[in-house]
Chains A and B, each alone.
Chain A
Amino acid sequence: MKRLGTITTVTVLVLSGALAGCRGADNNTGGGGSAAAVPGVTSEPCPQAVDKTKGCIYLGTISDLTEGPFKALAVPITESQKAFWARVNKNGGIGKYEVDVTTYVKDNKYKADVHNQVYQEIKGKVLALAQTLGSPTTAAIIDDLRKEKIVAVPASWTSAWAFQDVILESGANYCVESMNAMDYAKEKYSPTSVMAVHYPGDYGADAAAGVKYAAEKLGMKFTAVQTGTGAETQAAAIQAILTQKPSLVIVTTGPAETAAIVGGTAARGFTGRFIGTSPTWNPGLITSPAKDALIGLYEQSAPWNSWATDSPGHKAMREALSSIDVPNDGYTAGWVWSYPLKAALQKAVEANQLTRDGLLNAAKSLTTVDYEGMLPSGAGNYAGGADGGQFRMTAIYKPDAAGPTKVSQVKDLFVGPTAKDFKLTQPCFQSL
């Protein structure tokens, strides 16, 4: 029982120590911030600096690393971004600075409140966010991002990002992607009716809204079925497809759900076509029981070309990530998403405006971003506004056991007539 005395003393000491870490010490979250101390920019070198004479720019990462629904993609995205910025540092950094994305990596568990908490913890220590994964989670911090002028790279393709200056999104959004999928299908399969099988929310509903718009333009009959997560809960969606017999189904779910839907309907004699948005595919599906149905009926639409593509950017990525055993397109996504932030940082440094304000201005005024061929020239127009700056190209892939990420290209990046004429005036999912 003597220990209780010690416990009390220790507790008192810890508490007084905690209180000593007092207000004012790290109270640079108020916004004002003088030019002398820009949050996340130091003249000391980065912890893993290549050139010790350079200063350091700290970027935060908030991702789904352990128990959330997207961890299979989020971990590759995060790893790929580390490799991307390590390459930037190796090639001379950004002006007098190198970039660190390893010190402030946080797990959001795909929960908005956790996302906000870890964001509050790191926001005084980083210049910008190299990744903020998920839209409901990012929505919890978007007001603060705007207020503090913190530029952030999203890890999702929802159309809502086009309306936020602080968000540096890349590639076509789900809404435009499904319009292109519809145009492609119209040309190749001439379907007469289409069904959107989708998750609720900014991912599934965004794509379904695009399908609805395109169906009207192309004169197809449109129906939509909302479905939940879990391969075992797809019975209602399968039944709806079998009874209504649409000639085309656009799927926006996760990979396991897609396999259940395509496999389940094909097993009961359905022969219509399926096109899934980019997150519906996972290389593991090529060995799943549904593989024959997937190879026969399914294609994937994608916002950019996959891992094995021959472009300078893809090549640099494969070199930087040569230690990876099993490539997947999470790596590709993390890599592509990083280019606009690099361009904005370079612009801000060149203008000698490396502050949050300066970085936001640089980001807003970008008219094009060099994606090293991963996206064509003209992509990354943030000065063009929500509609004018919208990138509208999509590629089509099909399952292929021979490809490194188990897909092969059917059609290179293209813009269909529907997406070309589409005016983005509000986030698509609001109009479903």
Chain B
Amino acid sequence: MRGRPLLYTSYASDMGLFNTGAKKAAFAVLMALGLTTPFLLADVELQLLALACATAIGAIGLNLVTGYAGQVSLGHAFFIAVGAYTAAAISGDPESRTLGFGIDNMLIWLPAAGIAAGLAGVIVAPLATRLRGLYLAIVTLGLVFVGEYILTEWDALTGGPGIGRQAASPALFGYHLDETDVFMTRDQKLYLLMFTLLVVFGLAGRNLARSRVGRAFSAIRDRDIAAGVIGVNLPRYKTIAFAVSSFFAGIAGALIYTISGRFDPGQFGLLLSVQFIAMILIGGAGTITGAVLGAFFLTLLPRFTRELPGLVPFIGGQATDTPNVFQLETVLYGVLIIIFLIFEPRGLFGIWVRIRNYWKAWPFSY
């Protein structure tokens, strides 16, 4: 079938992970770019990119439940918190004032964080099977408040609000991935770790989405009654959606805070959930690439706004000026969500699709 890249002769090749040559090539280029980045960029940027990679894993998780399966969840911050605290407790120093078991091998604490959050997701899932739409959103919203209360009160685990605790420390069989050594700096290692994990979880998410489970998710999203009628087991697939999404959130929670090294319970409020919703809306709901794009976009955005006073003269760099860069940073999230919902509902991924189609037909684009 040479020369006819879009002609498929079997379902397997149609549904393949990389079903076109262009996708294979693009993936190879992105991998090469991702792996050479730590030797090109400075540590500050690498740390930010590492954060974006870890955040992207969480965004993929939310996109699986909200974008693919259509179950609006505002409770993502809660699952991220479960993952973050499970990992921090397992890897924490037993001598410190907060709960810790001193197991810093990340092959143990990372899956544990995912599983703990996944179990929390399974517990919540029965709600999702009974409710939908706005009602589900409100119930998952309640989850965030309950979680916030527990974390605020449970000082032995969280260190207490306003004080916080050390995050999990990534190590593989005694080799610390968060310490500078002769081979690489801390930020280079963390970036490579997060990038590798993003590739692993991104592929896992995409695999799930293109499988039988993913098709069931889409059927539920498009019309749950119709999905039930054609034989999709609604409670089962909604449970799977919540469990997998929470698993991703747990992994992301465990990883995000290893980068800054410290976190306190005040961080897991509604705002965090809203930020993740913003990521998938701006990136593109219902696509893995979109979630990754959105996570990168929103993580890197504050960095770019902070550079603005040097480029745009009327934006002040001092807190007493109006308008100043700090105000801009604050309102930009909201403005972007509105702009994207009105002008590009398919998000950054939609823009990418349009660009792709333009070049596919070039020079006969119209």
Contact A75 B319 (CB under 8 A): yes
Report the stretch among A19-27, A214-222, A294-302, A362-370 that lies at the interface: A19-27
Residues of B within 8 A of A30 (CB): 180, 185
Is B163 part of the binding interface, using a Cβ–Cβ cutoff of 8 Å? yes
Is A100 part of the binding interface, using a Cβ–Cβ cutoff of 8 Å? no
Contact A65 B306 (CB under 8 A): no
Contact B354 A4 (CB under 8 A): yes
Is B355 part of the binding interface, using a Cβ–Cβ cutoff of 8 Å? yes
Residues of B within 8 A of A24 (CB): 42
Contact A29 B42 (CB under 8 A): yes
Is A1 part of the binding interface, using a Cβ–Cβ cutoff of 8 Å? yes
Shortest Cβ distance from A138 into B: residue: B262
Report the stretch among A101-109, A253-261, A391-399 that lies at the interface: A101-109
Residues of B within 8 A of A79 (CB): 319-320
Residues of A within 8 A of B162 (CB): 135-136, 199-204
Contact with B along A191-219 (1 / 0, CB 8 A): 00000000111111100000000000000
Residues of A within 8 A of B355 (CB): 4, 7-8
**CA distance in complex: A79, B264 (Å):** 29
Is A357 part of the binding interface, using a Cβ–Cβ cutoff of 8 Å? no
**CA distance in complex: A240, B266 (Å):** 25
Is A44 part of the binding interface, using a Cβ–Cβ cutoff of 8 Å? no
8 Å CB interface, B147-169 against A: 152, 155, 160-164
Contact with A along B327-341 (1 / 0, CB 8 A): 101100000000000
**CA distance in complex: A25, B319 (Å):** 30
Is B237 part of the binding interface, using a Cβ–Cβ cutoff of 8 Å? no
Is B236 part of the binding interface, using a Cβ–Cβ cutoff of 8 Å? no
8 Å CB interface, B231-272 against A: 256-257, 260-264, 266-267
Residues of A within 8 A of B185 (CB): 30
Residues of A within 8 A of B257 (CB): 113
Residues of B within 8 A of A8 (CB): 355, 358-359
Contact B317 A1 (CB under 8 A): no
**CA distance in complex: A426, B325 (Å):** 40
**CA distance in complex: A110, B196 (Å):** 31
Contact B41 A111 (CB under 8 A): no
Contact B327 A113 (CB under 8 A): no
B335 nearest CB across to chain A (Å): 15
Contact B264 A112 (CB under 8 A): yes
Interface size on A, residues (CB 8 A): 54
Contact B303 A27 (CB under 8 A): no
**CA distance in complex: A25, B330 (Å):** 30
Contact A112 B260 (CB under 8 A): yes
Contact B306 A140 (CB under 8 A): no
Contact A117 B48 (CB under 8 A): yes
Most chain A CB inside 10 Å of its own CB: which residue of B48, B152, B320: B320
Is B40 part of the binding interface, using a Cβ–Cβ cutoff of 8 Å? yes
**CA distance in complex: A207, B140 (Å):** 37
Report the stretch among A118-126, A283-291, A408-416 that lies at the interface: A118-126
Is A235 part of the binding interface, using a Cβ–Cβ cutoff of 8 Å? no
Given contacts A29-B43, A140-B262, 19 further A-B contacts (CB under 8 A): A5-B365, A7-B355, A19-B40, A26-B42, A107-B319, A112-B263, A112-B267, A113-B260, A116-B261, A117-B48, A117-B303, A121-B44, A139-B163, A139-B164, A140-B260, A143-B261, A200-B161, A203-B162, A429-B163
Pairs across A and B, CB under 8 Å, 11 listed: A25-B42, A26-B44, A31-B180, A112-B164, A112-B263, A116-B261, A120-B48, A121-B44, A136-B164, A203-B162, A228-B152
**Which 6 pairs, one residue from A and one from B, show the smallest C-beta to C-beta distance?**
A201-B162, A116-B260, A65-B319, A4-B358, A107-B326, A140-B262
A-binding residues in B (CB < 8 A): 39-44, 47-48, 51, 97, 152, 155, 160-164, 180, 185, 256-257, 260-264, 266-267, 302-303, 306, 317-320, 326-327, 329-330, 351, 354-355, 358-359, 362, 365-366
